[in-house]
Chains A and B, each alone.
Chain A
């Protein structure tokens, strides 16, 4: 069982080497170290998967500490879910590391960059494999820290640092819920093991299960950028593009939904919590799809699309279909990393210009490979059959459709509407960026070449994104439903009813094709209207969606400003006048006591001897009093 441990520890070892000795290594060696450890982690994950016999087991590495009932340990839970996830995370991360070598080729801070990147992968693998909730929290916080460090990586620009801080604070707000849930679990179950928690959740009071489910949901909303904590992700585009790919596809945004999957056996006991998960997922999916439709920045389009797609995962999970949710998670990881890496190529060609309206047909002619990759990615994102996204998203929509309640049916309608929007914005991106006439001023005169290594990384991902549906094809054929079979032993996985599946699938296909055509008419080169018309028709709606439903402004007015005012009062009046005075007084008191006690140590031997006599007298006095 060393392979899973290696998967976990290889990236950590890389980060440690880079942190300790990176500055003294030649650039090439540092890059090789960074890529090799992640590749080694991937090989180890492959070996772990190959050696997996379908038997879920817990690998206890070491005890951590023990205080009362709280005795966390470094233990790993190895089942089909965690091993597949680890495989995906290490594989996608390895590709992104390769890509980073080319993308960061001119950056001087590469040691810091690769160190954090390796640490990021380690933290995520900790979340993926940890069985102990405290150990998991270590990875959870590690992911938060690494995202903070990498989003603000180009720290010369204050806006980047602010984006990093925003991500950190918003995910920390979610973490509070995690800690509260952890405290509740420790006090009620006296154990921090995930397996224990899932096994003994039935013993808890139903309200307690609902509360825990909602708390974990809130924590997951922070990490996975769901309503109401989603505003950090679009700003996180300040990070270098490979980091965005890593955050969106492999290491951070999926952490929240993955945590909920791990907890599925417990949460599924509470219908209210399940409904909350599904509702947040569907609402976020719709919300973010609207916002994505209005963006100009290629990375912001993709960022909002991630929020929306993770919403689908939440919906699938809330509808009770863990398999479908995980299916979509895997497929999404492939096509989203493809799209981001492709966007990185576009940005490189455009001399760091992100605006799709300044790209246009010349980009297609300049980099046909990137164009092809982006089309494949958009097909997968938009769910155009037979790309991967069609099957995975279709499965989630079907799960929502078959779920018993009326509320779920409404959510299905919302999610289906969002699916239409998804195709629209996916192909809006493609058509505007690769077919349009560059508009506005400031676009570069000549396009820059795209490094070959960056292009090469697109193809494996494109293949996976297109063929990802093969992981879990619907139907009765022997090759269909592979993921479902593999995950069958994982707790919390339930089978779906079969009826009406064809109908819903047909509807999905119809929607995606209709959306594709509509997008072609609206934004294609032979469009009937001016390509900017949809935006011009309703400028206020456009501005509203562009700002992400004005959520940032709302938070600023409703939360941040009052908080700032409160903090100002606490700082100036309570802290400055009250507590500082107290603290200074205490410090003065201690300082005076310190000086007077120091005066005892005169350095004279006689003083020592006198104190001997006094001390002895004191001891004898106490003895005589106690003995009498």
Chain B
């Protein structure tokens, strides 16, 4: 089989994005159903090809990797994009945001994420990262008539540009140190022992970590997250919070796998510190936060900390914990932001805690999925979040970081208090008459059902998925 087949999913997404734009240019106002159906079709086609392609080493002149891990992450990204679109389509049409650019940009962003998840070369790495970041800048500002949306886009754009500059500088330093742009071999030769390549290589790595840390909202690079998540339209926040993070983790996983031992020796304490800081900086502020979207933003920061924990345990415990937790995270955050969007009135996304009062009775289904997602984020048993945290903690303790596991558990306990307040408002609050959202529509019901059922099902019977990942 020709190597070019491995570009087929990306090519399909590119064609899909162009088709969405073309449709918009020809019909000017295409029916939302047509756009959603078409976009889902392209995503499904890409997914089918990702499933069908045999695993291989680096292909296309060592530009792209395609092994089981990449396949898993790419499917996760495609699923996240599809579910986000299901959540977004009626949300956007009700608010007059459902232009062709929404669908095209989501498809292009997904293309960038696929590239990043499969990057075996620094150029592809930067290309994928920048492609989806550019699309996300615009998606965040989708509701351009609203100040908060624009403000969020700006607050994502300015640090994003700075971080991108640092990242590219880091890549340049690594290239200067090793003379190679290949991800694996450049990292391998940073450890050759000679100071000339080790020092600049590590400096480059530090700059890359900054860029990546910004994208993942790792503390202390996370301060943009609350504002951006709060300002972005909820389904866009769902996509921003899930797809982009997972793609970056896929790349980080390959990066860690390629690191030689002595570079890992230098990197492990950094990861240790970053994950501890991220866990605390995500969990603690959530506790007294009364704005639910900001709370979810902090929670997403904390979840990044758990993923980083799992990554830290990767050399000892293998990729299964990172992958399982990534899947759990995608479902939980999609469920939380997606159902928040469905519960929101057209006049503006629900944010203040009081707005959620009594929604468990007046809007039982979206509220139930929100509740399940929150319970899962809190890590309560019978949800996927519990199994994920459990697997991660076991791996972390086995890898010899009991203190980190302790911090993680502490963070989980503290954050659980924050989620419980939202749950309390949902089910025990007195319903307010203002702020009734619109009926979600069939597409969103499909997404709600899928997310809710998967969180519970994989929380009760995680065995098959865990077995698959091992």
Kindly provide the distance from the CB of A64 to the nearest chain B CB, expressed in whole angstroms.
6
B287 to A591, Cβ gap below 8 A? yes
Interface locus among B50-58, B154-162, B241-249: B154-162
Q: In this assembly, does B399 line the interface, its C-beta being within 8 Å of a C-beta of chain A?
A: no
B206 to A623, Cβ gap below 8 A? yes
Q: Which of B194-250 contact A (CB under 8 A)?
A: 198-199, 202-203, 205-207, 209-210, 213-214, 220-221, 223-224, 226-227
A590 to B227, Cβ gap below 8 A? no
Taken together as a complex, chains A and B put the C-alpha atoms of A94 and B166 apart, in Å, by: 72
Residues of A within 8 A of B209 (CB): 619
A590 to B159, Cβ gap below 8 A? no
Interface locus among B38-46, B130-138, B370-378, B460-468: B460-468
Q: Say whether chain B's binding surface is mostly helix, strand, loop, or mixed.
A: helix
Residues of B within 8 A of A614 (CB): 220
Q: In this assembly, does A495 line the interface, its C-beta being within 8 Å of a C-beta of chain B?
A: no
Kindly provide the distance from the CB of A579 to the nearest chain B CB, expressed in whole angstroms.
15
B202 to A623, Cβ gap below 8 A? yes
Q: A603-B227, A622-B270 are in contact. Are A611 and B220 (CB under 8 A)?
A: yes
Give the A interface residue count (CB, 8 A): 35
Q: Which of A597-628 contact B (CB under 8 A)?
A: 597-598, 600-603, 605, 607-609, 611-612, 614-616, 618-620, 622-623, 626-627
Q: A594-B286, A612-B214 are in contact. Are A601 and B166 (CB under 8 A)?
A: no
Residues of B within 8 A of A609 (CB): 158-159, 162
A612 to B159, Cβ gap below 8 A? yes
Residues of A within 8 A of B221 (CB): 608, 611-612, 615
B162 to A62, Cβ gap below 8 A? no
Residues of B within 8 A of A63 (CB): 461, 463-464, 467
Q: In this assembly, does A66 line the interface, its C-beta being within 8 Å of a C-beta of chain B?
A: yes
Chain B positions 445 through 468: 1 when the CB is less than 8 Å from some CB of chain A, otherwise 0: 000000000000000111110110
B288 to A619, Cβ gap below 8 A? no
Chain B positions 178 through 197: 1 when the CB is less than 8 Å from some CB of chain A, otherwise 0: 00000000000000000000
Taken together as a complex, chains A and B put the C-alpha atoms of A281 and B104 apart, in Å, by: 75
Residue of B nearest to A602 (CB): B223
Taken together as a complex, chains A and B put the C-alpha atoms of A27 and B154 apart, in Å, by: 58
Taken together as a complex, chains A and B put the C-alpha atoms of A67 and B466 apart, in Å, by: 11
Residue of A nearest to B463 (CB): A63
A594 to B288, Cβ gap below 8 A? yes
Residues of B within 8 A of A64 (CB): 460-461, 463
Q: In this assembly, does A593 line the interface, its C-beta being within 8 Å of a C-beta of chain B?
A: yes
Kindly provide the distance from the CB of B383 to the nearest chain A CB, expressed in whole angstroms.
13
Kindly provide the distance from the CB of B126 to the nearest chain A CB, expressed in whole angstroms.
18
Residue of B nearest to A619 (CB): B206
A616 to B284, Cβ gap below 8 A? no
A66 to B463, Cβ gap below 8 A? yes
B269 to A626, Cβ gap below 8 A? yes
Kindly provide the distance from the CB of A20 to the nearest chain B CB, expressed in whole angstroms.
11
Q: In this assembly, does A106 line the interface, its C-beta being within 8 Å of a C-beta of chain B?
A: no
Q: In this assembly, does A452 line the interface, its C-beta being within 8 Å of a C-beta of chain B?
A: no
Taken together as a complex, chains A and B put the C-alpha atoms of A361 and B280 apart, in Å, by: 78
Residues of A within 8 A of B226 (CB): 601, 603
Residue of B nearest to A607 (CB): B223
Q: A616-B206, A626-B265 are in contact. Are A594 and B461 (CB under 8 A)?
A: no
Q: In this assembly, does B387 line the interface, its C-beta being within 8 Å of a C-beta of chain A?
A: yes
B273 to A622, Cβ gap below 8 A? yes
Residues of A within 8 A of B463 (CB): 62-66, 73
A597 to B285, Cβ gap below 8 A? yes
Taken together as a complex, chains A and B put the C-alpha atoms of A619 and B218 apart, in Å, by: 13
Residues of A within 8 A of B205 (CB): 623
Taken together as a complex, chains A and B put the C-alpha atoms of A627 and B195 apart, in Å, by: 9
B224 to A608, Cβ gap below 8 A? yes
B285 to A601, Cβ gap below 8 A? yes
Residue of A nearest to B269 (CB): A622
Residues of A within 8 A of B1 (CB): none
Q: In this assembly, does B396 line the interface, its C-beta being within 8 Å of a C-beta of chain A?
A: no
Q: In this assembly, does B414 line the interface, its C-beta being within 8 Å of a C-beta of chain A?
A: yes
Residue of B nearest to A63 (CB): B463
Kindly provide the distance from the CB of A118 to the nearest chain B CB, expressed in whole angstroms.
20
- Within 8 Å by CB of A615, from B210, B269, B288, B390, lies B210
Q: A63-B463, A594-B285, A623-B270 are in contact. Are A615 and B213 (CB under 8 A)?
A: yes
Residue of A nearest to B158 (CB): A605
Kindly provide the distance from the CB of B260 to the nearest chain A CB, expressed in whole angstroms.
13
Kindly provide the distance from the CB of B295 to the nearest chain A CB, expressed in whole angstroms.
11
Residues of A within 8 A of B390 (CB): 67
Taken together as a complex, chains A and B put the C-alpha atoms of A603 and B224 apart, in Å, by: 7
Q: A601-B223, A619-B209, A627-B198 are in contact. Are A595 and B288 (CB under 8 A)?
A: yes
Q: In this assembly, does B106 line the interface, its C-beta being within 8 Å of a C-beta of chain A?
A: no
Residues of B within 8 A of A594 (CB): 284-289, 414
Q: A63-B464, A63-B467 are in contact. Are A612 and B266 (CB under 8 A)?
A: no
B166 to A65, Cβ gap below 8 A? no
Residue of A nearest to B223 (CB): A608
- Within 8 Å by CB of B461, from A65, A595, A601, lies A65
Residues of B within 8 A of A618 (CB): 220, 273
- Within 8 Å by CB of A590, from B224, B265, B284, lies B284
- Within 8 Å by CB of A611, from B202, B223, B285, lies B223
Q: In this assembly, does B163 line the interface, its C-beta being within 8 Å of a C-beta of chain A?
A: yes
Q: Which of B412-470 contact A (CB under 8 A)?
A: 414, 417, 460-464, 466-467
Chain B positions 287 through 311: 1 when the CB is less than 8 Å from some CB of chain A, otherwise 0: 1110000000000000000000000
Q: In this assembly, does B281 line the interface, its C-beta being within 8 Å of a C-beta of chain A?
A: yes
Residues of A within 8 A of B213 (CB): 615
Residues of A within 8 A of B464 (CB): 62-63
Residues of A within 8 A of B414 (CB): 590, 594
Taken together as a complex, chains A and B put the C-alpha atoms of A605 and B158 apart, in Å, by: 7
Residue of A nearest to B224 (CB): A608
B288 to A65, Cβ gap below 8 A? no
Residues of B within 8 A of A622 (CB): 266, 269-270, 273
Residues of A within 8 A of B286 (CB): 594
Residues of A within 8 A of B460 (CB): 64
B269 to A616, Cβ gap below 8 A? no
Residue of A nearest to B159 (CB): A608
Kindly provide the distance from the CB of A74 to the nearest chain B CB, expressed in whole angstroms.
8
Kindly provide the distance from the CB of A618 to the nearest chain B CB, expressed in whole angstroms.
7
Kindly provide the distance from the CB of A112 to the nearest chain B CB, expressed in whole angstroms.
18
Residues of B within 8 A of A623 (CB): 202-203, 205-206, 266, 270
Residues of A within 8 A of B285 (CB): 594, 597-598, 601
- Within 8 Å by CB of A626, from B159, B220, B266, lies B266
Taken together as a complex, chains A and B put the C-alpha atoms of A67 and B391 apart, in Å, by: 9
Q: A62-B463, A623-B203 are in contact. Are A612 and B210 (CB under 8 A)?
A: yes
Q: Which of A400-438 contact B (CB under 8 A)?
A: none
Residue of A nearest to B163 (CB): A612
Taken together as a complex, chains A and B put the C-alpha atoms of A622 and B223 apart, in Å, by: 22
Q: Which of A58-86 contact B (CB under 8 A)?
A: 62-67, 73
Taken together as a complex, chains A and B put the C-alpha atoms of A123 and B378 apart, in Å, by: 29
B461 to A619, Cβ gap below 8 A? no
Residue of A nearest to B151 (CB): A603
Chain B positions 374 through 394: 1 when the CB is less than 8 Å from some CB of chain A, otherwise 0: 000000000000010010001
Q: Which residues of B contact A (CB under 8 A)?
A: 154-155, 158-159, 162-163, 166, 198-199, 202-203, 205-207, 209-210, 213-214, 220-221, 223-224, 226-227, 265-266, 269-270, 273, 280-281, 284-289, 387, 390, 394, 414, 417, 460-464, 466-467
Between-chain CB contacts (< 8 Å), 9 pairs: A62-B463, A65-B387, A593-B284, A594-B286, A608-B159, A622-B273, A623-B206, A626-B266, A627-B198
Starting from the known contacts A622-B266, A627-B202, 11 additional A-B residue pairs (CB-CB under 8 Å) come to A64-B461, A65-B463, A590-B287, A590-B414, A591-B287, A608-B158, A609-B162, A612-B210, A614-B220, A622-B269, A626-B265
Q: Which residues of A contact B (CB under 8 A)?
A: 62-67, 73, 587, 590-591, 593-595, 597-598, 600-603, 605, 607-609, 611-612, 614-616, 618-620, 622-623, 626-627
- When A and B form their complex, which 8 residue pairs have the shortest distance between CB atoms, in order from nearest? A63-B463, A626-B266, A594-B287, A598-B285, A619-B206, A611-B220, A594-B288, A615-B220
